[in-house]
Chains A and B, each alone.
Chain A
Amino acid sequence: MSTQPIRTDVTIVGAGPCGLFAVFELGLLDLKCHLVDILDRPGGQCAELYPEKPIYDIPAISVCTGQELTDKLMAQITPFEPTFHLNQMAESLEKTADGWWRLTTDIGTVLESKVLVIAAGGGSFVPKKPPIKGIEDFEGRSVFYAVRKMDQFRGKHLVIAGGGDSALDWALNLQPLAASVTLVHRRDEFRAAPDSVNKMRALVAEGQMRLEIAQIASLEGADGQLSGVVLKDKERGEWPLACDTLLAFYGLTMKLGPVAEFGLNLHENLIPVDTEKFQSSTEGIFAIGDINWYPGKLKLILSGFHEAALMAQAAVRVAYPERKIRFQYTTSSTDLQQKLGVA
């Protein structure tokens, strides 16, 4: 169900801090960007793993949180009007007959560009899967790590595992549709928003939802269809709980994912680049931020910013070989200031 291809100057895989700052450096050189990220918002690790924790080594900013850094970067790149394709996995890459990179996402967005920038960081964020024996056999049929369509769970006997916002939100949202909902969590304390926890406790008190303080020991069922889970805790040992669907929410982890299939040379799941252009083994494909590797590489945001600036100089020569590029400062160039909307 691919849609009409969108043609642009640069496609960026990954909207973490380095992908975001690349929009700025490329924008100063008049290159338009489209970004793809599997997360539902920009910011990469900063937004997903440590939105509220402080960062102290961004030059000239003594301290800011992961979310504040993301917000500041988003504000800084606003003049360049980047287009975000969120909640989408950049899945496959090919070259068109006329020499453009065609990137297709898992929901069928097609982006064509002369330059591809991989700013995929530690990889795409994907759900953590519990190490329960045989769980793979049920995945996609009766075990899920995300909800794409709520209606899929109508009339089901659900077990929802986890104690954070995802687990609580889905328990509350699916409760009216499902035949039954049992929330399974390892302790009687929840990290989720207090309001959701209160709502959940009220439903449990009314007998509309069950709460089990336990962990999942094993799964029962056949041919991909669950018939129940076995719960365990230290005092009570193990006991069965009948259900037909398990939704597990244990947070996200980073996996290199489809980028490994893009035909690039890899070095221990990283993309080796040169330190002049930050180009991969393939012309027109650049890699910046945590995903790249070169001698002396440090996985720091400030390194990724530097890489973005040098990459942009090389990228514009790939996209528009005929253009003459001059070096300018934002302080003194009215041309750059016009692009930034300040002159």
Chain B
Amino acid sequence: MKIHVTDREGGEHEVEATNGWRVMEIIRDAGLPITAECGGACACATCHVYVDPAWVAKLEERGEEENDMLDLAFEVQENSRLSCQIMFDPSLDGLKVTLAPE
């Protein structure tokens, strides 16, 4: 299973995904530049990504805590998510995300 990550310079990366991991962890484990300062506790907003519009509806909606924490992110859009709050499972094979500016 894979996810596709576009970095801040526009570079594209196909990354091996593991069932049950947070998307943030998958990105971090691949060595891509994601700060994820709080390690996935929904407490820092430094794991902000944009989800490809085709995938937005396939994800569970943002929780209230995630929405609050997005106040600390920049350039927030409708498809903004904190990648530590997206749990990867096989239905997300092929997910496309872009790292947000920081």
Contact = CB atoms under 8 A, between A and B. Distances in A.
A187 B74 CA distance: 13
Contact of B75 (A131, A191, A251, A254): A131
B76 interface: yes
B44 A131 contact: no
A251 B76 contact: no
Nearest to A190: B71
A185 B74 contact: no
B89 interface: no
Contacts of A251: 44-45, 72
A163 B41 contact: no
B61 interface: no
A53 interface: yes
Contacts of A253: 35, 37, 44, 46
B84 to A, nearest CB: 13
B87 to A, nearest CB: 18
B38 interface: yes
Contacts of B76: 186, 215
A122 B35 CA distance: 12
A191 B70 CA distance: 11
Contacts of A130: 74
B43 A254 contact: no
A301 to B, nearest CB: 13
Contacts of A234: 77-78
Main secondary structure of the interface of A (DSSP, over half): loop
Contacts of B72: 128, 164, 250-251
Chain B interface category by residue count: 20 to 34
B43 to A, nearest CB: 5
A154 B21 CA distance: 50
Nearest to A192: B71
Nearest to B35: A253
Interface string A174-200: 000000000001110101000000000
Interface string A196-235: 0000000000000000000100000000000000000010
Interface in B46-84: 46, 67-68, 70-78
A163 B70 CA distance: 10
Contact of A49 (B43, B78, B101, B102): B43
Contacts of B68: 191
A50 interface: yes
Given A131-B102, A186-B76, A215-B76, A164 B41 contact: no
A16 interface: no
A234 B46 CA distance: 23
A53 B41 contact: yes
A162 interface: yes
B40 to A, nearest CB: 11
B43 A53 contact: yes
A215 B41 contact: no
Interface in A248-306: 250-251, 253-254
A302 to B, nearest CB: 16
Interface of A: 49-50, 53, 122, 128, 130-131, 162-164, 185-187, 189, 191, 215, 234, 250-251, 253-254
17 contacts: A49-B38, A49-B41, A50-B41, A53-B43, A130-B74, A131-B75, A162-B71, A163-B71, A164-B71, A215-B75, A215-B76, A234-B77, A250-B73, A251-B44, A253-B35, A253-B37, A254-B37
Given A49-B44, A131-B102, A251-B45, 7 more contacts: A131-B74, A162-B71, A191-B71, A234-B77, A234-B78, A251-B44, A254-B37
Interface of B: 35, 37-38, 41, 43-46, 67-68, 70-78, 101-102
